[in-house]
Amino acid sequence: MIKKVVVNDIMQKSYTYELSEVIGKHFALDFKPDFTPQEMLELGVFGGKYMTDCTQEFPKTWFKKAKLSPEKKNPKLNYFGVDASQSLSEWQKKGWIWKHDPRGWFQWYCRYYMGRRIPLEDERQIKRWKAYRRHLAQVSKNCRPGDIVCRSRQRQSLLHWAYNSGVHKK
């Protein structure tokens, strides 16, 4: 059964999409993120600011232990305690933002995880996700095993893309 979702938040009014897959299932074969959106929010991503006005769109469980900062971005809430984000305007300038996901990759991932499928956009975002893996290789090459302080900004950025560069999962 296909479920419709209607979004009304700061960045989208009356945006509607359909969930055609079971939550957390049936991902593209080459898309295997290390973390779920809920795990990412609990670990600390995007300075806690990213999802504060759209909690109605996603399961309440995602936000029970999420590290959020409704007023402004707080990098201390990030898992590695550093700011590893570029501004939304920078992402827009580089052409990385797609009209249906004005917040970028993580919003796409949350909706994909929920079961929304848009084949061409899914392919584009998964290609971007796979390309980001090169940063994991740089961390491995330049840091001793277990030294999670090494390249903390790069590690935080990897966490933003659902890659595990040494995060201890609960």
Question: How far is 68 from 37, CA to CA, in rounded Å?
Answer: 13
Single-letter residue type at 116: R
pLDDT at 23: 97
What the block records as the tokens of 142 is: 């330049």
Residue 15: inside a domain: no
Structural domain including 43 reads 35-160
pLDDT band, residue 148 (cuts 50/70/90):
confident
Whether 132 is covered by a domain: the verdict is yes
| 3-class DSSP state of 88 | helix
Return the structure tokens found at 19: 């969930």
DSSP 109: H
Determine the distance from the C-alpha atom of residue 135 to the mean position of all C-alpha atoms in its chain, rounded to a whole number: 16
Q: In this structure, is residue 170 part of a structural domain?
A: no
The lowest-confidence range among 10-24, 43-57, 59-73, 81-95 is 81-95
pLDDT at 91: 67
Residue 115, both tokens: 């079961």
Q: How far apart are CA 113 and CA 40, in angstroms?
A: 13
Lowest mean pLDDT among 36-50, 76-90, 120-134, 144-158: 76-90
In a domain, 23, yes or no: no
CA distance 116 to 122: 9
Q: Is 61 inside a domain boundary? A: yes
Helix (DSSP H) and strand (DSSP E) numbers for the chain: 7, 2
Mean pLDDT across the stretch 76-88? 87
Q: How many domains does the chain have?
A: 1
Predicted pLDDT at 71 = 87
The answer to whether residue 11 sits within a structural domain is no
Q: What is the mean pLDDT of residues 152-157?
A: 94
Q: How many residues does the chain have?
A: 170
CA distance 124 to 77: 30
Alpha-carbon distances of 139 from 7, 60, 135, 144, 148, rounded to whole Å? 37, 34, 6, 9, 9
Is residue 83 domain-resident?
yes
Mean pLDDT, the chain, rounded, equals 91
Is the CB of residue 13 less than 8 Å from the CB of residue 53? no
Which of 35-44, 84-93, 133-142 is most confident?
A: 35-44
Q: What is the mean pLDDT of residues 142-157?
A: 91
Nearest-angstrom CA–CA distance, 57 and 79: 24
13 located within any domain: no
pTM more than 0.85:
yes
Q: Please, which pLDDT band fits residue 64 given cuts at 50, 70 and 90?
A: very high
pLDDT band at 162 (very low <50, low <70, confident <90, very high): very high
